[in-house]
Structures are given as structure tokens and as C-alpha cells.
Amino acid sequence: MALTGAGISAESGIPTFRGAGGMWKRLRPEDLATPEAFTRDPKLVWEWYLWRRGLIARAEPNPGHYALARLEQRAPRFHLVTQNVDGLHERAGSRKILKLHGDIWEVRCTGCGLERRDERLAFDEMPPRCACGGLLRPAVVWFGEMLPADVWQRAERAVAETELLLVVGTSAVVYPAAGLVPLARRSGARIIEVNLDETPYSASVDCSLRGKAGELLPKLIP
Ligand code: APR
């Protein structure tokens, strides 16, 4: 299994949230990535997501994404669990992906609940509305929201059964996603971490590789 975070997309030009250059250095998560922020100012929240969509649309998967897609080809029982919403794993060829935090390219109507793919980089009205008149929101998981139950259950089950967990490019401070690492340890899995910096789990994993995912993963998975 692999659990990925924003760090695997950093070399594709997508800023991470924390650490050096992270978005939360100049933007406040509570102003942009919470249901309250959306209720308070849906236009501001959508401006941030459209900015991110624009960045992601111009980005390409990097060798780290492609290495994990190769791993899926070679290991039939491999599962990729990601916290990322950027869709770069799919674009690199990964198919068995559990998206814990949703997908920036999907929207959900806050009125009728309709959820669908929407790849627009701009809307003719802001904030965008559903045909039913309800406000559309990004179909991503915001702070304080539950993860999709079926996705979470499948991720927990996969972690409980895996022999090896690759933890790549995550600061491992946002739960419940970060809880998959100690869960893997309790299940007896070997854990390899790939990260530029230390994380709360670096000292307790079997092997903590310090470096860029785009450089190290192709060495691990040639
Ligand atoms: N290669 C490997 N690791 C990297 C690289 C790189 N090129 N660049 C940065 N990193 C590491 C950083 O050291 C950091 O540990 O990636 C991690 C990025 O951490 P965060 O920005 O906190 O991203 P993530 O862990 O995915 O955040 C979890 O928090 O903001 C919410 O919902 C959002 O899914 C996100 C969640």
C-alpha cells in the first residue's frame, strides 16, 4: 500500500499546505477549507479552489506519481490511498485509488446533493449554482467534515491487511488519515516513509528516507 500527501505533487508545481512554501503560511485553512468558511463567503472559497484548479490543470504528474502507477501494475493487491484531491495519480495511470479527501474536479450541490464531475476553470456566475438553484461546492472533505465512510472503511481494511506501507509526502498531522500509519504498525506491516522532512512518525517507521518523492520513488520502484 501507499499513503500519499501533498508532498508527492510538490515537484509537479502544486504547493503543499504546511512546511516550507506551504499554503497555510499565507492563507488560513479556517478561512478557506471549512463548511463555515463556505457558508460565510462561498465566492472567496471558490476563488481559492479555481486558483488551485488552474495550477493543477497546468501541472503534470511527476516521476513519483508514475512510480506508484508502476507499482500497481506489478503488485495486483496494491492499493493507493491518497489525501490529495488533484487527480495527478489518475493522470499518471493509477487506477486503484482510495481518495480520502475527495476530488477537486468534482462538485456537489448543497441543495439537492447531486454530485458530478466539473472541470471548469471559471464560472459564468460566482458562486456557481446547480440547475436546482442550490449552491455548488467542491466535492472535497473540509476540516471538521467526515471522510466518505465507504472509502475510509476500505482504507482501514487495506491497511490492516497490508505487509508494507509506503508513506509518501505527508506531514502526518491531519486525522483520521494520519491514523493509518500507527494502524499499519499495529497490524505488523513494515513502513517506509519518503519525505523531505521529519514527521511525527519518522522515528517509529522501519525506514525513513529523506528526500524528494520524484527522485526516491523511481529508485524504490524502477
Ligand atoms: N517529496 C517528498 N515529500 C515532500 C516534498 C517532496 N518533493 N515536498 C514536500 N514534502 C513533504 C513535506 O515535508 C510535508 O511533510 O510533504 C508533506 C506535505 O505536508 P502537508 O502540506 O501537510 O500535506 P498533507 O500531509 O497532504 O496534508 C494533509 O491537510 O490541509 C489538509 O486536506 C488537506 O489533504 C490535506 C491534509
Fold classification of 2-220 (topology level): Rossmann fold (3.40.50)
What pLDDT sits at residue 21? Answer: 86
For 186-201, what is the mean pLDDT?
97
Ligand 1 pocket, 99 CB below 6 A? no
For 127-140, what is the mean pLDDT?
98
Cell digits of residue 92:
499518471
Give the domain ranges of the chain.
2-220
Q: What is the pLDDT of residues 16-37, one digit of tens each?
A: 999 888 998 888 888 999 999 9
Ligand 1 pocket, 138 CB below 6 A? no
Q: Where are the alpha helices (DSSP H) in the chain?
A: 7-10, 29-32, 35-40, 42-58, 63-74, 88-91, 149-161, 180-186, 213-220
Tell me the whole-structure pTM to 2 decimals. 0.97
Q: Which atom of ligand 1 is nearest to the CA of 17?
A: 21
Q: Which atom of ligand 1 is nearest to the CA of 11?
A: 7
User: What are residue 115's DSSP bridge partners?
Assistant: 108
For 135-156, what is the mean pLDDT?
97
Ligand 1 pocket, 19 CB below 6 A? yes
**Known catalytic residue: 101?**
yes
Question: What confidence tier does 118 reach under pLDDT thresholds 50, 70, 90?
Answer: very high
Distance CA 31, CA 45 (A): 8
* Residue of 17, 26, 28, 86 with the most ligand 1 atoms within 8 Å of its CB, for mutation: 17
Ligand 1 pocket, 170 CB below 6 A? yes
What pLDDT sits at residue 98? Answer: 98
Residue 191 dihedral angles phi and psi, to the nearest 5°: -125, 125
